[in-house]
Structure 1
């Protein structure tokens, strides 16, 4: 998200709508999100919408040899509907 539009709640609103669509319309059982470990904003958003940190993964991103660490988050349908 462009810096001028950060910290207005748009990220949380977007993530919430994606979860709602995934669980209510697509009838998903589990939704998974991923971000770079240095991206604290994305990590916070996923936690605020009820997702739980699942695992870390060391990956060679796009063959550049930078070895970025990814963090995975997930939420199950029963967790989503329980919190509603």
Structure 2
């Protein structure tokens, strides 16, 4: 399964992509605001990685679609983007997007492009009725991405993420299918 946006090509992670996956999840700065700390053991990383591999066009063991993202300009690996299905049936469902960029792509709008691609995939291909995202309350850049996508802040969980020796709050955002459709329609006017 492949997707494309203006500057990025996406494809599901494959077994041969272990080193790319490792480059993301072993980088302390990339993982700064993530739920988990960086994983430095290649052995531990392999077990983690295998859970993100899909079989055909089906979701992986985490019930998500995890994409390796590559710059269309130079073909370089740009990062990780996924959507995890929390619920899914013939009437829709809810999916949560996530994204991690290699540092060379920071500050250039790629995270917004990744998040937009996963949101569009959730509504267009998976026919979800809601897409959501969460971030560490200290990660203002990620929160701004959610706002740019038209997501509404739905809540803040107090002291649920343990990072750097302290507990951090988490912000939760979401967008409904009808809101997403209205934004798309407005963009074409």
TM range (shorter): 0.7 to 0.9
RMSD over aligned Cα atoms:
1.7
- TM-score scaled by structure 1? 0.88
Q: 1:33-52 residue pairs with structure 2 within 5 A?
A: 33-52=133-152
Q: Runs (4+) of structure 1 moved beyond 2 Å?
A: 1-4, 59-62, 64-67
Larger relative CO (CA 8 A, sep 6+): 1 or 2?
Answer: 1
Greater mean alpha carbon deviation, residues 14-23 or residues 4-13: 4-13
Query: What is the CA deviation profile of residues 38-74 of structure 1, one whole-angstrom value per residue up to 9, with x for unaligned ones?
Result: 0011000110011111100014435x87221000000
Report the Cα distance in structure 2 between the residues aligned to 1:82 and 1:73, rounded to whole angstroms: 18
More helix by share: 1
How many residues matched? Answer: 83
- TM-score scaled by structure 2? 0.41
More strand by share: 2
Report the Cα distance in structure 2 between the residues aligned to 1:9 and 1:60, rounded to whole angstroms: 28
**SS at structure 2 position matched to 1:16:** helix
Could you list the runs of 5+ residues in structure 2 that have no partner in the other structure?
1-100, 185-189
Residues 136 and 169 in structure 2, CA contact (< 8 A), matched pair in contact too: yes
Residues 60 and 66 in structure 1, CA contact (< 8 A), matched pair in contact too: no
Matched, 1:58 2:158: yes
